[in-house]
A = this chain, B = another copy of it.
């Protein structure tokens, strides 16, 4: 499709973003063109906004940001088999090559030649986006666009929680950002037993309660002592499952302290630096296992998520705290970087 569209771009190296008018992207034979109905802001976008060390090393400008979306297919490449014009789709941001050793072992989400939408390719903070078929997901037409858009980060939580069976297990979630809140909701909808949620902001912990946390801890409140509290609440045994959604070294170490012998530790949060671990007490004598979580299983996670959403037992809308126009993106970024963090997910409508 020929024409122009508005988009949020990083025009050149350096902090900040701009709203600009750019060409509608041309699609290749295995891509579709999507008219974006909704798109949402991820923590990765903040790194690019702020132009931190990671962004400087990874991002080529000019770049249209954005990798979470819902939209309608308006054009289809001639090698595409799954999709047709009119389909209502979202996308996994992980673009795999489909032929490497890892892809052919059933793990395309960690493809050896992985590209990320809106990071390594032009993204979807725009009116139109080119989406490779290999990472496209067809939505149920009844799914609200704001929910469809946040499936990508919700899928992180689904994968983190369901990397092993969770039903009936006691769970400790570390982190009250969107990832932790979504993980809480997924664990609850999947039949977890007691869920302990550990965070730093009352606003978010309140959402955590809505999502199904049994007990919440605000570590910034004086007197909060997470480890002894969780151990006491589990008869000294500890929890079956720890979901680490922060990357914070203190949270990681607390997670291992409350993990029971033989338990499962899902590691999703990304530490800024190497972490010192007492492997003996954390892992080896405990007979525990640590699962590194990146992306979402394609497409097991998406099918699980679709089933959970269809069941009516998982509703991520309490986590979607703000819905704004794409033009108001600066407001969205400001909210997500505010000290107070009175925000969950921000969805933008082009």
Contact = CB atoms under 8 A, between A and B. Distances in A.
Contacts of A260: 101-102
Interface stretch (A10-18, A40-48, A186-194): A186-194
A32 to B, nearest CB: 13
A168 B81 CA distance: 25
B307 A169 contact: yes
Contacts of A191: 167, 189-191, 307-308, 311, 313-314
Contact of A167 (B284, B294, B304): B304
B274 A307 contact: no
Nearest to A275: B279
B271 A280 contact: yes
A190 B190 contact: yes
Q: Can you tell how many copies of this chain the complex includes?
A: 4
A289 B289 contact: yes
A329 B271 CA distance: 49
Nearest to A107: B262
Given A166-B167, A300-B105, A290 B283 contact: yes
A193 B306 contact: yes
Contact of A287 (B237, B271, B292, B304): B292
Nearest to A80: B99
Nearest to A112: B261
B311 A284 contact: no
A147 to B, nearest CB: 15
Of residues A102, A109, A275, A290, which shows the largest number of chain B Cβ atoms within 10 Å of its Cβ? Answer: A290
B310 A193 contact: yes
B102 A261 contact: yes
A268 B188 CA distance: 27
A192 B307 contact: yes
Interface string A156-194: 001000100111111000000000000000001111111
Given A191-B311, A193-B307, 15 more contacts: A81-B97, A102-B260, A102-B262, A109-B287, A167-B304, A167-B307, A168-B304, A168-B308, A168-B311, A268-B284, A270-B284, A285-B292, A286-B292, A289-B291, A313-B313
29 contacts: A105-B262, A106-B106, A106-B300, A107-B261, A110-B262, A112-B261, A158-B168, A165-B167, A167-B167, A168-B307, A168-B308, A170-B307, A190-B190, A190-B191, A191-B308, A192-B311, A193-B306, A194-B310, A194-B311, A267-B283, A274-B276, A277-B277, A283-B292, A284-B294, A286-B294, A287-B294, A287-B295, A288-B292, A289-B292
